[in-house]
Structure 1
Amino acid sequence: MIKIAFFDVDGTLLRLGHKELSANTAAALRQLHQNGIILCMATGRSYTGVPHFDGIDFDVLLTFNGSFVTKGNDIIFKNPINEHDKYQIISNLKHMNRAIAISNEHMIVTNGTDPDLEQYFAFGSEKLKIADNFDEISRTDIYQIMCSCQKDEHSQILSGAPHSQITAWWDKAADIIPLNSGKGNAVAAVLKHYGFSKDEAIAFGDGHNDIEMLEAVGIGVAMGNAKDEVKAKADFVCQSVENDGIYHYCVENKLIF
């Protein structure tokens, strides 16, 4: 019996670049909640950048790809980037002449901009905020670093930063998070908090950064618009986000009526 459900946001709950849920997706979430299922948002977005939907309250927020997890005002799990790694990665990116975005639980700022990084933020309907005090903010606990890049540049970005990893859901940018973080570890922390087994959990996702989450629950569902490597790791594949995949899966499997 499913007691808790985890949802990626961009490309899963929301069509890329959109701010509002479809009517069917919103109805599915409301009915799941009414049926007593705990709703968890699991996103690569910052804590301050999570979307809010009218009439729908998520019980748990997994932000920064699982590095900062909250239940209301309570912090269930937090895992900032290793201090040495943080400065090393920022140095690497500066040498690569890349604009850098950093996030703590209060804000997300950059030291510059470029078209791909702007597009990356636009997917989540966010705008870059260039900060004159970027170096000062970088000395706080940072949960995620973001930059535009190609996959073959990942090793250069992480050079000298053994406690960090790259997770990505778009092929022109990357999210840099702690090595022992990720959505899968965050899901495990949430299940432990509630005393649930993985068999009592379901998750929906579409990106590479969702694979660990899909594997950390009893039922991992890839969206129809997910890439092949994500579908290969899922237990089931539903219709695409454009075709209200979450809604139809929940109806077909009698999670809602």
Structure 2
Amino acid sequence: MHKPKILFFDIDGTLIDMQKKCITPLMLSTLHKLQANGIRLAIATGRSPMTVPLEEFPGVQFDVFITFNGSYCYDKDRVLFASPIPTEDIRTLRRNAAALGRPMCLATESRLAANGTDADLADYCAIAKIPVPIAEDFDALAAGKVYQIMIGGRAEEYGRLMQDVHGAKIAAWWDRAMDIIPTAGGKGTGIAHVLAAYGIDKADAMAFGDGNNDLEMFGAVGTGVAMANGSDALKAAATDICGACAEDGIYHYCVEHGLIEA
């Protein structure tokens, strides 16, 4: 296999098993070996910068972070791309969510803030091992730079939630909640900015993912590898499919394709 110059990894369901909620020793070793082989490593997640679980990756120095599903991208030296949701759309989304009886959680560069909670939002936050961050200054934050909004909900609620919203879109990877990001965002957009900043061609980039919010990511790289535990839509769009996250699928794929040694 052509050796990629950079690898992009989703976190939940890709690097970290959703049931065990931790990275396996073999997967951690895989990241170390890939880095030792001169391949840049990048996170591409719907999580905020504050909830990227760096403690799960001891000794790994990720080169780039694509967070909020591509709305906020950075490396250790600089912000590579930042695209907040238009304030008018935040007001509309808040009104629509209230009509559905759904609280919402705003994500700024350095804060998470919710105006309430329900079972779906609580369980969604629990995936990142945090409580719902109910905030008294929610109104003030809603008027500032918001890069993502998290709301509990099902697919049948999408239409009503997004009614009259023009500058934002849904990036969903779980069937009980959704991430709302600016239309200018998306993991694919984030990756395009990262590749341009580093002077790396699309053909030299590879990505691993499991959810529908990874579809745009696969379109931005030369090789998109879906996890066996991934969605049917992502598998259909993938260049290749590896084993499940819980079965160290990425490790076996990297060994089989000569990216690392066993």
What band does the TM-score fall into relative to the shorter chain? over 0.9
1:179 equivalent in alignment to 2:165:
no
**CA drift at 1:19:** 4.5
Separation in 2 of the partners of 1:244 and 1:227? 17
The residue that corresponds to 2:116 in the other structure is: 112
2:13 paired with 1:7:
no
| Structure 1 residues 73-92: aligned runs within 5 Å | 73-92=77-96
Segments ≥4 residues shifted beyond 2 Å: 17-20
CA contact (8 A) 2:87 2:142 kept: no
Query: Is the Cα contact below 8 Å between 2:87 and 2:144 reproduced in 1?
Result: no
Give TM-score, length-normalised by structure 2. 0.96
What is the RMSD computed on CA atoms of the aligned residues? 1.0
Stretches of structure 2 lacking an aligned partner (at least 5 in a row): none
Match of 2:43 among 41, 44, 58: 41
| Structure 2 residue aligned with 1:227 | 231
Alpha-carbon contact 1:17-1:124 (below 8 Å) kept = no
Task: Report deviation, 1:95.
Answer: 2.0
Q: Distance in 1 between matches of 2:150 and 2:19?
A: 18
TM-score (norm 1): 0.98
**Contact between 1:187 and 1:213, CA under 8 Å: does it hold in 2?**
yes
Q: Are 2:44 and 2:187, in contact at CA under 8 Å, matched by a contact in 1?
A: yes
Corresponding residue to 1:94 among 91, 94, 98: 98
Contact 1:80 1:142 in 2 (8 A): yes
- Structure 1 unaligned residues grouped into runs of 5+: none
Partner amino acid for 1:30? H
CA distance in 1, matches of 2:21, 2:61: 16
CA-CA distance at 1:159 after TM superposition: 1.1
Distance 2:176 2:237 in 1: 22
For the residue of structure 2 that corresponds to 1:131, the secondary structure is coil
> In the aligned structure 2, how far is the partner of 1:3 from the partner of 1:232?
25
Identity %: 43
Q: How far apart, in 2, do the equivalents of 1:19 and 1:192 lie?
A: 33
Taking the TM superposition and a 5 Å limit, the aligned residue runs for 1:46-195 are 46-52=48-54, 53-195=57-199
Secondary structure in structure 2 of the residue aligned to 1:169: strand
1:30 counterpart SS class: helix
Measured against aligned partners, the alpha-carbon deviations of 1:41-75 in whole angstroms (never above 9, x if no partner) come to: 00000111111021111110000001000101410
CA distance in 1, matches of 2:141, 2:233: 36
Residue 18 (structure 1) shift: 4.3
SS at match of 1:165: strand
Partner Cα distance (2:71, 2:83) in 1: 5
Q: Is the 8 A contact 1:15 1:242 kept in 2?
A: yes
Structure 1 stretch 128-137 or stretch 235-244: which is displaced more? 128-137
Q: Is the 8 A contact 1:18 1:124 kept in 2?
A: no
User: How many residue pairs align between the two structures?
Assistant: 257
Select which of 183, 202, 208 maps to 1:204.
208
- After superposition, the C-alpha distances for 1:168-215 in whole angstroms (9 at most, x for unaligned) are 010111000011210011111111111111110000000000011012
